[in-house]
Amino acid sequence: MQFLPLRPVPVSDHAQSLYAEWLAWLAEELDRPDCDRNDLVRRVLTNIYFPGLGERDPSTLTLDQQVAAAQMDPTAVTLEPEYYEETDLALYTPRKPLIWLWEMFDRSALGENVELGIHFRRLLARYVFGSVGKNFKAFTHVRFSYGYNLHVGDGVVIHRHVLLDDRGGIEIGNGSSVSDFANIYSHSHDIVDGRLVSLPRTVIGKGVRITYHATVLAGAHVADDSMVGAGSMLTRPTEPHWVYVGVPARKVKEKPADERAKKAPPTGDPMADE
């Protein structure tokens, strides 16, 4: 197999400067003690989706246009976690507009731009997650529930269309990655009465790989440097350095100690901030 570390991909100087200016402005706005996050998000999303519409008299718009414009305002929409009985509104309320901004950004023309998107989501994660380490990377259409129950270490990578159900809490250790279309849960329902909900914390250790279309069920503890194979469903704790595959996932192979010892040192991340 070939050794293929990531390479840098430049954008134009104008685009680089433009993105940096916009993200710096957004961070400055969010850091203001008097920031109205709902209004900020409404203005940003209106400008992204309907340039110029924000300055128009609502009475000049059709009902369809008014309804479409209303979706830019976080106070005009509801999100599923708001209906959960255990939601901590003191923590969720200030995060909701930013979660809506994250999701609507991904649905817009801006969302597939890796250069802008990685840095945009990295910025929002500082205000939405319970904690986030250095150089976090999330690609497009990553979904999570509360945000405030999500704790992410350094150098974590979350790929496209991943669900992080942090209802009961998720911890992801340094250097771990979650591949496309994987699902990580931290709640489950009673088989007789779905209103009886268990909220165990799910822990992903350091250097873990959750691979394509895999599912980690609530309460699992994925040990350091272990791996959950593509399409697998993990229902139990893993052991360090072991690969787990199947439904339910079972350990099938230990990463050879001699190969682990010879593993190449980390290579540079072209999208690292520090």
Please return the burial class of 8, using the count of CB atoms within 10 Å of its CB with bins 0-12, 13-18 and 19+.
exposed
Q: How far is the C-alpha of 102 from the C-alpha of 79, rounded, in Å? A: 13
What pLDDT is stored for residue 53 in this prediction?
Answer: 78
Model confidence at 47: pLDDT above 90? yes
What pLDDT is stored for residue 200 in this prediction?
Answer: 98
Phi and psi at 172, nearest 5°, equal -125, 120
Model confidence at 5: pLDDT above 90? yes
Q: How far is the C-alpha of 190 from the C-alpha of 196, rounded, in Å? A: 5
What pLDDT is stored for residue 59 in this prediction?
Answer: 83
Q: Name the pTM for this structure.
A: 0.95
Tell me the pLDDT of the chain averaged across its residues.
Answer: 96
Which residue's structure tokens are 């950004």?
A: 105
Q: How far is the C-alpha of 96 from the C-alpha of 75, rounded, in Å? A: 9
pLDDT-wise least confident of 19-23, 57-61, 252-256: 57-61
253 has which bridge partners?
A: 243
Q: How far is the C-alpha of 229 from the C-alpha of 104, rounded, in Å? A: 31
pLDDT above 90 coverage of the chain, percent: 93
What pLDDT is stored for residue 52 in this prediction?
Answer: 80
Model confidence at 54: pLDDT above 80? no
Spatial CA neighbour of 244 closest among 261, 225, 260: 225
pLDDT tens per residue across span 65-100: 999 999 999 999 999 999 999 999 999 999 999 999
Model confidence at 118: pLDDT above 90? yes
pLDDT tens per residue across span 192-205: 999 999 999 999 99
Second CATH level (architecture) for the domain 129-261: 3 Solenoid (2.160)
What pLDDT is stored for residue 166 in this prediction?
Answer: 98
Model confidence at 37: pLDDT above 90? yes
Q: What is the mean pLDDT of residues 20-47?
A: 97
Residue spans per domain, the chain = 129-261
